[in-house]
């Protein structure tokens, strides 16, 4: 259980930052612009970076590429799961007009419903998690270069 406490803790903190960012965007009425979701990748990447960094500091002798990648994926999965649940709650209970406003920002005639948008948010979060974990592990892996 101790191995999972660090990624769960950082995943929950990362999701709290993602939720706070989304709520700040909604205060200034920019949450319907999909371009601002790029910052979500930066927030998630930083949370994964910190989780892997602390994991390496706590047990450098046990740290490996696989352990670091697992820490990053679990951190991102927890953050994505918590944010997706919040997003679903927000779009159904807090602001029911959010979906129609979001679709207006897309150019095209899309037939989207709440389930599809929530699925896309979850898949985007999981894809960001995998890419960020692989990218961050390039910084922390042990080099086999000759000196």
| Mean pLDDT for the stretch of residues 35-57 | 92
Mean pLDDT of 94-112: 75
Report phi then psi at 61, rounded to 5.
-75, -25
The DSSP element (H or E) to which 140 belongs, if any, is: helix 114-140
> What is the percentage of the chain residues whose pLDDT exceeds 90?
55
d(CA 141, CA 37): 29
Total domains in the fold of the chain: 1
CA 78 remoteness from chain centre = 8
pLDDT tens digits, 107-137: 666 677 788 888 989 999 999 999 999 999 9
Query: Please, is 83 exposed, middle or buried when counting C-beta atoms within 10 Å of its C-beta (0-12, 13-18, 19+)?
Result: buried
Residue 106 belongs to a domain: yes
Domain around 20 = 4-140
Instruction: State the pTM of this model.
Output: 0.88
Task: With a cut of 90, say whether residue 96 has pLDDT above it.
Answer: no
Q: Is residue 146 part of a domain?
A: no
């Amino acid at each position: 259980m101790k191995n999972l406490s660090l990624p769960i803790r950082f995943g929950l903190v990362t999701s709290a930052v993602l939720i706070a960012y989304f709520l700040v965007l909604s205060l200034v009425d920019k949450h319907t612009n999909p371009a601002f979701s790029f910052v979500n990748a930066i927030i998630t990447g930083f949370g994964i970076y910190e989780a892997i960094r602390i994991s390496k500091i706590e047990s450098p002798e046990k740290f490996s590429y696989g352990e670091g990648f697992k820490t990053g994926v679990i951190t991102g999965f927890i953050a994505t799961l918590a944010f997706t649940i919040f997003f679903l709650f927000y779009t159904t209970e807090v602001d029911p007009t959010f979906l129609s406003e979001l679709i207006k920002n897309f150019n095209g005639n899309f037939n989207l419903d709440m389930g599809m948008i929530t699925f896309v948010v979850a898949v985007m979060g999981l894809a960001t998690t995998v890419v960020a974990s692989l990218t961050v592990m390039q910084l922390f892996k042990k080099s086999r270069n000759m000196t």
